[in-house]
Amino acid sequence: MAKNYQIAVIAGDGIGPEVVRQGLRVLRAAAEAHGFQVGLTEYPFGTEHWLRTQEIFPDAAFAEARRHDAVLLGAIGDPRAPVGLIERGVIGRLRWEGDLYVNLRPIKLYHERFCPLKDKKPEHVDMIIVRENTEDAYVQKPVFEHQGTADEVATQPMRYTRKGTERIIRYAFELARRRPRRQLTLIDKANAVRAQDLYTRVFAEVGKEYPDVKTEHAYIDAACMWMIKNPEWFDVAVTTNLFGDIITDLGAMIQGGMGIAASGNIHPGRCSMFEPIHGSFPKAAGKNIANPIATVMAIAMMLDFLGEKEAAAAVEGAVAELLRSGRIRSLKAGEHRTDELGDLVLDQLAAVKA
């Protein structure tokens, strides 16, 4: 019997609904071509919904969404809501309460014309950042003492647990082992933030179980420098939540920008969430100019996670071919219409199948 995957869809704010619409067209086409079914449940959460109802992500809906096989998310964020409220309430809740401890962010260049770095080609930019996704300052309570006075003190600690550190490092080693280069770099700032000595120790310890994986280390500041100077130095890299957030925006730029960068928020074996890493881009909303390719790539990651390896490879391959052949001229917003890019991906998928 054909598999039937249940997907929860949170299109969200700004350009979210437009890019998700194109992503879902690609998902349906992939299902048809590869002989599986998808059932979608769409949820209205985001800033618009909050403005109307004061609801962010109600408990019952959260519980129901998590009973799906995966969640597809468009974008969350809108200046009409207090800073971070809806992002933390929707994306954060899925990541933290859902215990989606891996934030997987591939950085792959498909054609040199998308790379702003001089003389860097696809063979130089092909890495995966494994970002810890449930700890760090992100999940700590901000405290403001003596607020509004000259003596104000604000704190939100970087906190790491042994279990949290070990599981992300182990995931990264397993991933590195499955890639041809078998190299894993630990990125931290243990020279200044001594709490990250926990990462140093756990990396060395777990590394003993993976003698086939070559290990490297870089402090986050140097890693930023290396990513620009010698991106070919990286294969798989593992890092903390906050540093992972920052370095993956940098990574997105060397693979062609926010128009293509995708991510998976994963807990192996559990309902996981897939999203483009770009934001909601409110200025572009509703104009049919946003680039849906990052969402299409998030769908490829979701299919891979669900075990539909051929479909995942077909979707990624279709995008790769469109980029290489120049049918997708540019990844910048406005260079192609949003639905035109959806059409191109569908065409390419059909052409390969025919």
91 binds, among ligand IPM, Mg ion, none (CB under 5 to 8 A by kind): ligand IPM
Could you give the CA distance from residue 184 to residue 181 in angstroms, rounded to a whole number? 9
Residue 135 binds to Mg ion (criterion: CB under 5 A): no
> Is there a contact between 243 and 218 (Cβ–Cβ < 8 Å)?
no
Residue 87 binds to ligand IPM (criterion: CB under 6 A): yes
Residue 78 binds to ligand IPM (criterion: CB under 6 A): no
Residue 188 binds to ligand IPM (criterion: CB under 6 A): no
Pick 91 or 333: Cβ nearer ligand IPM: 91
> Is there a contact between 73 and 12 (Cβ–Cβ < 8 Å)?
yes
CB of 305 to Mg ion, least distance (A): 20
CB of 246 to Mg ion, least distance (A): 7
- The secondary structure of 27-47, three-state, reads HHHHHHHHCCEEEEEEECCCH
Q: Give, in degrees to the nearest 5, the angle at Cα 130 between 124 and 134.
A: 155
Could you give the CA distance from residue 338 to residue 91 in angstroms, rounded to a whole number? 24
Indicate which single residue of 90, 277, 318, 345 sits in contact with ligand IPM (rule: CB under 6 A): 277
Is 163 an annotated catalytic residue?
Answer: no
User: Which residues are CB-contacts of 168 (< 8 A; sequence separation ≥ 6)?
Assistant: 101, 102, 130, 132, 133, 238
Only one of the segments 69-77, 117-125, 244-252, 290-298 lies at the binding site for Mg ion (rule: CB under 5 A); that segment is: 244-252
C-alpha closest to that of 137 among 248, 241, 239, 219: 241
Is 221 an annotated catalytic residue?
Answer: yes
Could you give the CA distance from residue 45 to residue 43 in angstroms, rounded to a whole number? 6
136 binds, among ligand IPM, Mg ion, none (CB under 5 to 8 A by kind): none
Determine which one of 229, 249, 283, 343 is catalytic: 249
CB of 249 to Mg ion, least distance (A): 6
Is 99 an annotated catalytic residue?
Answer: no
Residue 87 binds to Mg ion (criterion: CB under 5 A): no
Could you give the CA distance from residue 228 to residue 118 in angstroms, rounded to a whole number? 10
**Closest chain position to Mg ion (CB):** 245
Q: Which residues bind ligand IPM (CB under 6 A)?
A: 87, 91, 245, 277
Provide the annotated active-site residues.
138, 189, 221, 245, 249
Q: Which residues bind Mg ion (CB under 5 A)?
A: 245
